[in-house]
Structure 1
Amino acid sequence: MMKISMIALALAVGMAAPAFAQQPPDAGHGAHHGAPAESGQATAPQVQMPQAQAPQAQTPAAMPGMGMMGAGQGGCPMMQGMMQGMMGRGGMGQGMGSGMAGTPRGDQSVASLAFNAVNERMHRDMDVTFTGDADADFVRAMIPHHQGAVDMAKVVLAFGKDPKIRELAESVVQAQESEIAMMKAWLEANEKK
């Protein structure tokens, strides 16, 4: 069970970690209501910081709450590799614990940090440039909204204990992934190029 939880966490953090490195310090829930993003893409591209500005990434064992993943503490080699891979592409080493954007409010447990990362990414990716085409604008904003629901449900599946909530999370994943696929297909067929 612990191994599954750690894998699910690594996947959730890996999907959402760029939010830590890309959010401005004063961004919160209202950040997506401000000026439109420059891109009309449903998901923002991952941006690497220039080498000169990139802070040193911490090893998983040195990061808060990640001690069990460290090699010297009997951590899982697969998890270590996943975490190092995320840090190497501008993920968790940038922003977490360094006073940069993305520092979550409230509880600092691994589950809360995963929820925060998912929430940050969802709100960033929902910040689309509106075109006047209500159908396309709705779909482009709803894809990341649905993906956020899927990612939050996966955090619950990794850390939640209540059987009813776990069942709900499983149904959310199934329903939202189906709707995401439909919306992507619709955009491909209908969006003006």
Structure 2
Amino acid sequence: MQSLIAHVHVSPYVILIRSQMFEPVAVEVPEVRRFIEKCCLEVGIDPNAPVILASELATNVVRHAGTPFKVTFAAMNDRPPWIEVEDGSMQLPEPRTAGPDDLGGRGFELIEALAAEWHTDCNVSEGSKIVCVTLKGDEEDGSDGWDHGDTARAEGQHAAAAGQPDLHRGAFPRAVAAPRPA
């Protein structure tokens, strides 16, 4: 069952933060696209690139994680909006080079072309991850390339557990060493 969660904040910086839960089935991907389109239109931005990015992230959850997932759209004053997709898997995204006849494997190319940046945050204690894409900003408002850093973790989102490293941040995933026992 889907539910729309509207976050209420007293901050003058928050324009919109919306989250919705989805089941890990292909028929939910068009629902993700409609959800992101509605959020974009609500804040007055072109939904084309955000819808493609969210669709790619949702499809990856359905194909690879296979867990229920939460999609969050966040927009703040003077910052480019971002989209987060949280699932119940610790498996980090793995880029691959698609051949000319391959049906898949171009997701990272899409993300690199359409997003200003992206990263993955893991919550080791809960066994979940969040893939976050920052949308390209408007060059005229000075927000293009703005790094939202830890602000990607809005209310209810997860950061790495206390004492755990941020397992991924950057253009492509990198190998992660297992934490050593104390």
How high is the TM-score relative to the length of structure 1? 0.28
- Bigger share in strand: 2
Q: Which structure would you say has the larger RCO, counting Cα contacts within 8 Å and 6 or more residues apart?
A: 1
- Bigger share in helix: 1
Greater C-alpha Rg:
1
